[in-house]
Structure formats: structure tokens, C-alpha cells
Structure 1
């Protein structure tokens, strides 16, 4: 394990990125940007490392807000916007953006009603997907017909039941990455619990 870490560190030291990134002293202001820069170096070194396809995980916390929610969200969304902007430019400069997909996820959604200090932990939520081969500018699946408290999908205090499963987004991404059809039930063991109409076709989410 130590040898692998030292080898990878040596590989990354020799990587020169294709775009201009903020100076290191700026990274403390946007920890997401630092993660994207490391991933950009890993992508740039893929041939040397003999990597065919990879998953990378970045995180940005602080969204579980109850007070001053508008100010906090504005700051967090600005960090996300900056990180994505620089990362996408780098992927395009490297000529690999058509082979890159980014998808957001969270461990919970938010309620439609207030707990007195903002929204509370919920269930259903939104996600976004972007990439060079994504059919962008679209809202997939259906937006709830009503967000009024007590609607058909409200289980109490504005907690919305998800109408579509997480697999609706992740299944087409896995298929696009080359997952074999016979492996679907192993990779996504919960597929049997959902009607196929609740799953996005790969051809709908991707251009090819």
C-alpha cells in the first residue's frame, strides 16, 4: 500500500495541467476546487497508469443548514460553480470531456416546510448530471405536480416520497460506461422493486 501511494504521488508530481488553476493559497477557500485539481491530474496521467475507466468521489459539506440558509447556500453554490467551471475547462483542454460524466448525490433531501429555523431532513431531492456526451438542458423524469403540504407524495411535514429511484440516473450511467446487461441485477440489486418506466433509458440521457 505504501509503495502504491508513493508511486501515485510520483506520477502526479510530473503532471502538467492544460489550464490555469488558482494558486495553492486559494485552495483553503474552496476545498472542492482542490479535489477537482487532484482528479484532473489523475485523468491526465491515465495513460501512464494504464487506467481504462475510473470513478472519482469529491465532497462538499455544510448543506445541512437551518439558520441563515440563503446566505449559506449562496456561498456553497458559488464554490460548486467555481469548481465545476475550472474542472470542465480542464477536461475540455485535455480533450476528454466527451468521456466524462459528473453526477451529484446526497444522503438526504430537504422538507418542503419549515421546522422554525429553515427546512429539515427530508427524503426526495434533486440531482444534476453533466458531461460532454450528456443530453443537457433537460429536466428528466417529472417534477412533482404539487409541493403543497399534505399532497399525495407528502409523508408528513413536507417530506416528499421519491417518485423515481436513484437507479433511474445511475443505471444509464453504468450502461454508458460499459456494464454488461447480465450484471445489472448484481450492480443494482433493487431494480426488481421498480417498474421499468421509472428508469431512464441510456439513449435519453446520452447522445450516443
Structure 2
């Protein structure tokens, strides 16, 4: 068979195979499910989420919070209170209060990129201990996803985890938010999907013309070893595309949970991604997965201006946090309905935190430490991990006079706890986290996030 370059490009473009062909030469491990099922679901908030308005102190520190934050400060009486805690969530995140009351939500305070433990004094005197290129979007995203605080990364922590995890009929590393550094392993091949399924082009769907072209190509004995590799990858990609489409586009029992407090269907992009994730989890038996790792995302958290509008509790940031909370709560309901509420952990990541001080445009600027959320039926009930920084501008934790706080918890301590819960062995933790030795000695180590 002779297949023109144009036909080949049209064939792969019509089925989602092009991305998989870029992984040619890598292989995914295939193994039968073993042990208890677990899934981890990471949500990356691109642009730098203002975690200081996501998790707010409600005790005497609120006065210092309000004084420092100025125009973006949230009045105490507007916050979403958390039972038996001196912290509250943003007013728009009320959907997560029942999850907290159930004991399925934890807070991680002031975490971020660290190469070594730092105080303000050592930050100022030891530049060799600082992470590289702090407060840069691209660099900090790479720090979070690659976990090399002073070096460039060519692979990511989720990919390295998948290198050590069993596979199935589909790769156990699944992204519904595009290809990113976090997904790249040394051997693992991620499956990158749109939340609603793989789109096909007219005349080139996996079930008709393109399938026929692929079958003819696979039957062709010409081309040598390189073409044989292309054929194998293309065949596997078609099979994966068919299976993924059947899961994402077929019947399910989880969509009914993705509604707001008034019973209206959630329409945000993050809700669609979490619904797609829920469908994949529901199909875990069909897919042959004992472990699944998902990466999702939300964009445009870089609120240098108009973070609030009209009042502190309204504006772009409030809308985003509301969408996130509604989708997370719906996802948790779906997991409980599937009977895997305690087998799934959802957690947030972001480039960096924002300045504690607001700016003249009703926004905030790039900073460092940040607050994050961890959700699941196996998290520590009422868990609050880490120490809230000194909220005084220019104080003990602020490297400037604008509230750029040195993190008290390293990413490795935060994400390492989730990785170990997920099944990464102690022996493999240094592989997944290249700087693990620094964060596993001298009293440092994975946070006790789980029961």
C-alpha cells in the first residue's frame, strides 16, 4: 500500500493519534489490577491563584489580614465558615462547606517551591539556597510540575509516578487539560483527552475511512523497523481512542451529581473536566486500572487588576473560585455514589501565591507561598497543615514589604504525602521527587494528610 504524507496527516489528525505518535519509542506498562483502587486528581490553577483569599483566618489575625489586603480583603461576616476551625473559605466556595463538615476536606497553608528550608535571614544571605527564577509563571509552573527547584526539568512528577505504576487497557496517567510537563515520564505514556471525548473529522473517524486506512497501513509489509514502530503506535492509539470515546461519550451514572444547589447542570470547564474524570473512574474495571492519575486545570488566575469588582466578594476571582468549589463538591458526591469516596484524592496546585498587599488596580501581584485544598474521604478530618505566615507586611516571613511570603512547607512534603498515599513506595520517592533527600531528613517529610 502507498500512503501519501497528506493521507497520513489527515488520518492521524482525525483520530487524536498525532499526539501519541510524538511518544514513539516509549512503551506503557500493562498489568492486571492489584490491591485496592486509588486515584489522585490534580487541579492546576494557572496564573497564580490568590490562596490568601481562598483560605482566610477568622481569629485576631483577620484584622491584620484586612489592613494588609486593602481593596481585595474579604469582610469576616461574608466568609464561608469552617466548623471548629479558625479559618474560612471565600464566600463563593460555600459548596465545599458540607465537604469540610463531612471530614473530607483539608487545608495546606503556605506551601510552595523550596530548594532548602529558608528563613528570611537565610533567604537574604544565601542566594544559592533560593529556587531559581521565583515569581515567573513559566519557571514556577515548571517547578511545581517538574519539582526541580534550581534546575530545568525534562519530565514531571506525575509521569515519573506513572513510570512506577501498573497500567491497563488505557494509560493510567490521564490529562483532560492538554499536555504539560507534569505528565512526562521516562517510560510512561500519558493519555491526553478533551473532557467530552475525542473529536473526529468528517470522513476520518476511527470507525470508518480512517480505520480502513489504518488497517491497510498495518497490513503493509514495507517500511522497515521504523515504520513497524509507527504501525504499532497507530494501532494502539486507535484502540485507545475507541475505548476512551466509549467511556466519555457513553452512558454513565455520575453526570446527575454535577448540578448546583438549585439543581441546574454545572457548565464550567472545570466541571466538564471533573465529570470526564468521574466517567473514567466509573469505568476503572473496564479499563483495567488499579491506580489512576489525572491532571486537570483552570486558567487566568493572574489577577493584576479587577480581582474584585463592585465589592470584595464579587469579581473574576470570586467567579473562578465558585466554579471550582461547585465542581469539586459535585465530583466528591459522584465519588461517594460510586463507593470510592475514600479511594480518590483531589488537590490543588498553582504557579505561586499572590502578594498579601493589593495594588492600585484592585488586584494582586506575583508572590511565593500559597494555600491549597485537599479533598477526599481518606484525608485527615478537619486537617489544617502548615503555619499561616506572619501577616504583617515586611514581617518575619515577607521577603519584600508587599507580602511575598517564604513557604513553610515544600512542594515535596505536600505532593509527596499524596504520592505515598497513592502507592509510590518509599524506595521510589527519590525517583519521583529528585530533591527528596532534603525533605525526608532533619524532621521534614510527607505531611500527615491522611487518616
TM-score by length of 2: 0.42
Measure the CA separation in 2 of the matches of 1:168 and 1:136.
19
| The structure with more radius of gyration | 2
Aligned residue among 192, 197, 203 for 2:443: 197
Q: CA deviation at 1:141?
A: 1.5
Residue pair 2:368, 2:405 contacting (<8 A) in 1 also: yes
Cα deviations across residues 56-90 of structure 1 (Å, max 9, x unaligned)? 11111122112221311211111011101211111
Specify the alignment match of 2:323 in structure 1: 79
Question: Aligned ranges for residues 18-37 of structure 1 at < 5 Å?
Answer: 18=254, 20=256, 21-22=258-259, 29-37=267-275
**Count of residues paired in the alignment:** 201
2:313 corresponds to 1:69: no
Residue pair 2:346, 2:375 contacting (<8 A) in 1 also: yes
2:240 corresponds to 1:4: yes
More strand by share: 2
Bigger relative contact order, structure 1 or 2 (CA pairs below 8 A, ≥6 apart): 2
**Residues 183 and 105 of structure 1: CA distance in aligned 2, closer, same or farther (over 3 Å):** same
Measure the CA separation in 2 of the matches of 1:12 and 1:133.
27
2:395 corresponds to 1:151: yes
Measure the CA separation in 2 of the matches of 1:197 and 1:61.
36
Measure the CA separation in 2 of the matches of 1:38 and 1:196.
41
Q: State the secondary structure of the residue aligned to 2:357.
A: strand
**Residues 133 and 67 of structure 1: CA distance in aligned 2, closer, same or farther (over 3 Å):** same
Question: Aligned ranges for residues 1-208 of structure 1 at < 5 Å?
Answer: 1-18=237-254, 20=256, 21-22=258-259, 29-70=267-308, 71-117=315-361, 118-144=363-389, 146-156=390-400, 157-194=402-439, 195-201=441-447, 204-207=448-451
Q: CA deviation at 1:18?
A: 4.0
- Give the RMSD, CA atoms, in angstroms: 2.0
Residue pair 2:347, 2:373 contacting (<8 A) in 1 also: yes
Residue pair 1:104, 1:128 contacting (<8 A) in 2 also: yes
